[in-house]
Amino acid sequence: MNAFRWGGSCSRRMRRPGRQMDKRTEKKLRDRAYWLGESRDAKALPELLELLNAPSAQVRRLSASALGKLAGLVPVEEVLPALTERLRDTHPQARQYAVKALSSYGTAAKPALHDLRDMAENPTEKDYNRRDATKAIEIIEEATLVAHNESQPRCQKCNQGVTTDEYARSMRAFQRVYCDNCFNEVYLHRRNWDTKVELNKTIQANKGQWVQSNGERIIANFLDEQEISYRYDERYQIVDGYAIRPDFYLPEFDLYIEYWGMDTTDYKIGMLKKQKIYQQQGKKMISLYREDKARLRQVLKKKLCRYMCLDDDKA
């Protein structure tokens, strides 16, 4: 059976007018969009274009992200109009991932520059979207300049020359220049690592999020009760050349939460390095520690109140 026919029945339910997507279907479609992107298979394109119009903002967000991962594998003319339309999505995170996906297409994304500049200069847009739009413009314009000058950047791993498309894809994904062969090698290494991390997520929070510790479960439950949108254990580029995976990121407040739940020497060294990066980049970050666990909700509430108003009835 063709792997990309799985989504048919869910897609039909998704399209029925006036029908709200149930949580179970939404989770299946979120997972489907994510793994279609991880497959890096051009056959995924039709299904992803359909998922890009799902009622769920999270499905649209992950579908946009997946389309970015297919850059160089699918016809640009089929993808760019759909991603450009998502720049006007009603949900800020769906817009954010459309921006990031467009930057993966390099010079081919030039038609979207006008819309990206509008977003970068829009004072009512979320700060993180303005920042990402500015970064996408830089990548697209740099790839265009490389093509215009007919100069050829070189892969940082094998020193072979790279094309402008390879340049854009690798800069978008890794903030380093790789040829496609080295890109695939690095990509597979990262995916294998990510799979190991996912297997360690064995504890389920009240609303379904799988986490790695009871401390993280308490944090996830508290954020859900306060109806604070968060992203758990996702990679972010907060400094050129270095990506981190915060435990929790609150996009509406551009705020990071780290739960330092271990006590080994190596872990503490990594903790100090990570905290230094947050500090150097001027990022808002809340640190919670294993000794806080007995009263973690109270400590988290107190620290969150520095950045937002909380509902006392829910806290």
Mean per-residue pLDDT for 120-133?
91
Q: What tokens does 298 get?
A: 């109270």
Q: Which of 248, 239, 241 is nearest to 283 (CA)?
A: 239
- pLDDT grade, residue 312 (50/70/90)? low
Q: How confident is the model at residue 199 (pLDDT cuts 50, 70, 90)?
A: low
Res 18: pLDDT: 39
Number of H helices and number of E strands within the chain? 13, 8
Three-state SS at 237:
strand
pLDDT on residue 13: 42
What span, in angstroms and rounded, lies between the C-alpha atoms of 198 and 178? 26
Rounded distance, CA 67 to CA 90, Å? 19
- Range of lowest pLDDT (115-124, 145-154, 293-302): 145-154
Phi, psi of 149 (to 5 degrees): -80, -5
> pLDDT tens for residues 68-92?
999 888 988 999 999 999 999 999 9
Q: Which of 50-59, 69-78, 107-116, 199-208 shows the lowest per-residue confidence on average (mean pLDDT)?
A: 199-208
Q: Which residues pair with 203 in a beta bridge?
A: 211
- 3-138 topology per CATH: Leucine-rich Repeat Variant (1.25.10)
Fold of 200-304: Endonuclease; Chain A (3.40.960)
What pLDDT score does 72 carry?
83
* Residue pair 246/256 in contact by the 8 Å Cβ criterion: yes
Kindly report, residue by residue over 36-62, the tens digit of the pLDDT: 998 889 999 999 999 999 999 989 999
Instruction: Note the pTM of the prediction, 2 decimals.
Output: 0.54
Amino acid present at 106 = G
pLDDT surpasses 80 at 9:
no
DSSP state of 161: B
Return the structure tokens found at 262. Answer: 């271990």
Domain chopping of the chain, boundaries: 3-138, 200-304
